Amino acid sequence: MKRMIALLLLVATAVLAVPGTTHARLPYRTFYFDPNQSMWLRIQPIYTPAAAYTADFEEPVDLQVGADDRIYVADKGANKIVVLDNDGKLVRTLGEEDGPGRLSAPEGVFVTPEGKVYVADSGNQRIAVFGPDGAYAREYKKPDSAFLGSEHFVPVKLVVDRRGVLYVALNSSYQGLVRLSEEGAFMGYFGANKAQSTLLNWLKKLILNKEQLAKETAALPRPITNVALDDEGFIYTATAAGFGKGAIRKLNAGGVDALKNKTLVDGHGIVDVAIDRDGLLYNIDTESGQINLYDRNANALFAFGHIDNGTQQYGVLGFPTAIGVDGHDAIWISDSRSKTVHKYVRTAFGSDVLKALVLYADGNYEESKPYWERVYARNDMYNGTFQGLGKVYLHENDNDQALSFMKTAFDTDGYSKAFWQLRLIWLQHHFVALVAGLIAAYLVWRYGLRLIRPALRRRPPSAFWQRILADYRTFGYILIHPYNGFYRLKEARVSPWVTLSILAAVILVKLLGIYETGFLFHPVDTSQINVWSSLALFAVPWATWIIANYLVCSIKDGEGKFREVVQGSTFALVPYLAFSVPILILSHIVTLEERVLVDSLSSLMYLWLAAMFLVMTQVIHNFDFLETIKNSAITLFTIGIIWLFGFIVFGLSYNLYDFFYQLYKEVSFYH
């Protein structure tokens, strides 16, 4: 009810919550990402706001957590670096004294593990370095290099690796990071983003001449927004825009992106990236207005927080500028709108679930068990638990549990493994019975029929039934002898009941396929399947084929009558009936490793079906082979035309209907 409203809005947009009807616990919600459905679903808090510190900031634009868990904040407005301890108390400031160390509008800060502080002193167009004691040590000016040309040297963000090499992001530079040696020599550009190659650009290149091309704005790579470094020496770049494409890149020393330019969920408005001890990634995204957590492969895990330009609340960000994670897993975010640094701490639940996920990713399933169990005790809804615990049970050879958990999590890989084990055990116990059963079935089939046949012979069915039986025999015969079969069919006048019963059987098999296919090959919640549209997707092509085939072939001197086309097209479905049942049974027996069995059977079935329809066209209309191919192609084209026309008519009439419906609603309901 009230919570219902909240849910509805959650689905629409998490931002536009109705006030007054929500009982705030925290000033924001927390979600987890369900990769099966590509959806954010709600969960209890992973992080809670701890405090917002104001050390008389004027415009905090960058933040770095030192190895000593001190927080280094670049205050652009106040021209200084502010150092806070882990409780937000002011330790010292850097760059305020007159002299060579005086900073001007610094926009970036980096702290080495030894405590040396590198400042992107943007106003002074240099990088200033302070020693661990806070004393000014040296500066890096624009290096003398022909490559840099006339470009202004306005450093905004930077990191420094273990060898002392600086990676500097210059103000809106699309060429990537500038690499400077410890001595200050230019070592080349590093890690530039790829230029966006759009279809339009490709077309332009194709059509326009050189002069025209020169007038076009060049498709430049997006500038790097922010940069971070992890303990292993990987350099992470954050790049906004591009709908999350390459929003976080994890670059090795050679500039190769370990994340392969992955599209990041909620990465379009990325501001900064941080990495914790466990390798989890943290991002603030202004587009979704949330802080996001990702695993090491940049798969989305959790999102929380809220961005509100007029914020007056702890944990709600105004204009976030940078993110950092300290040694206690607390998140620190500088916010230039509210002129504060926000701190968030992990909840007990958050610690458990993240620890479990990290152990899971490392393959330490046994170790992860107590964490997963604690998570499971507090949340039955989170899908990751089922995957995690499923893996644990799999590891413990508790395959029944594993199977059920994997199924709940829709994890087909895990399910397949558990199923393989269970099948093996079952086979070990029932092998003899299975073989005996198979032999018995074979014997019944082989000799049972022989027993029945005399009885049939003694009492032959009436002429009517004999005809019908003959039709069914033709149906079976067509499977192996399509030419002969269809000739036989062409002459025969098949009872409509036979045609209908075949169609009914096909639909029945289709329904069985929808609802009874094994989990591994159809991992969906069957209650949500729209049966009508599934059946329509199956039946409409078939029906349009009949119409198109008849129309095309009667123009092209085909002999077939409409009835014959219907009849033939029905009988041509025989491979579907013949193959679907074994596929259905196999889908319950095989694991993913053996899925090639099912897949090749399906492919075979479709090829066979296609062949059937070709042969049918050829025989019914009495074409030669080339004609058949040609006319079948035309038929397919006609099908396309019919559909296109159908879509247009449907689309227009739906628009018309919608217009009147909305008008009706507006008039009758709202006023």
- Smallest distance, other proteins to C-beta of residue 73, A: 14
How many residues touch other proteins under the rule CB under 8 A: the total is: 67
- Tell me if 87 contacts other proteins by CB under 8 A: no
Q: State which residue, 464 or 670, has the beta carbon closest to other proteins.
A: 670
- Between the two ends of the chain, the Cα-to-Cα distance in Å is 25
Decide if residue 670 touches other proteins (CB under 8 A): yes
With beta carbons less than 8 A apart as the criterion, state whether 295 and 357 touch: yes
Amino acid at 446: R
Least distance in angstroms from the C-beta of 486 to other proteins: 38
The Cα–Cα gap between 119 and 158 comes to 8
Token pair, residue 564, equals 């014959």
Q: Select from 36-44, 97-105, 183-191, 571-579 the region that touches other proteins (CB under 8 A).
A: 36-44
Q: Verify binding: residue 27, other proteins, rule CB under 8 A.
A: yes
Binding mask 40-79 for other proteins (x = CB under 8 A): -xxxxx--xx--xxx-------------------------
Length of the chain: 671
> In Å, how far are 27, 533, 544, 647, 650 from 653, measured between CA atoms?
46, 20, 21, 10, 5
305 phi-psi bin (left φ>0, alpha ψ -120 to 50, beta other): left
Candidate list 531, 585, 633, 641; residue touching other proteins; CB under 8 A: 531
Cβ proximity to other proteins: between 637 and 660 the closer is 660
- Chosen residue from 186, 189, 314, 542 binding other proteins by CB under 8 A: 314
Interface mask (CB under 8 A) for other proteins, residues 414-433, using x and -? --------------------
Task: Please select the residue that binds other proteins; options are 86, 334, 338, 412, rule is CB under 8 A.
Answer: 338
349 binds other proteins (CB under 8 A): yes
Rule CB under 8 A: say whether 313 interacts with other proteins.
yes
* CB of residue 463 to other proteins, shortest distance in Å: 44
- Phi first, then psi, for residue 617 (nearest 5°) are -60, -45
Q: How far is the CB of 343 from other proteins (least distance, A)?
A: 12
Choose which of 66, 106, 305, 315 interacts with other proteins (CB under 8 A). Answer: 315
- Cβ-based nearer residue to other proteins, 52 or 614: 52
Is 25 a residue that touches other proteins (CB under 8 A)?
yes
Task: Tell me whether residue 428 or residue 527 sits nearer to other proteins (CB atom).
Answer: 527
Instruction: Give whole-number Cα distances, 511 to 180, 405, 504, 523, in Å.
Output: 66, 27, 10, 16
Distance of CA 182 to the CA centre of its chain: 41
Residues 198-237 that bind other proteins (CB under 8 A): none
| Minimum CB distance to other proteins smaller for 26 or for 154 | 26
Burial class (CB in 10 A: 0-12, 13-18, 19+), 577: middle
**Residue 579 structure tokens:** 């193959």
Decide whether 43 or 154 has the Cβ nearer to other proteins: 43
The 10 Å CB-count burial string (b at 16+, else e) for 408-423 is bbbbbebbbbbbbbee
Q: How far is CA 30 from CA 12, 302, 377, 527, in A?
A: 16, 7, 18, 28
Contacts of 601 (CB under 8 A, 6+ apart): 579, 582, 583, 586
* Interacting residues with other proteins between 370 and 399 (CB under 8 A): 377-382
Which residues would be at the binding site for other proteins (CB under 8 A)? Answer: 1-5, 7-9, 12, 14-29, 41-45, 48-49, 52-54, 306, 308-310, 312-316, 338-340, 347-349, 377-382, 408, 527-532, 668-671
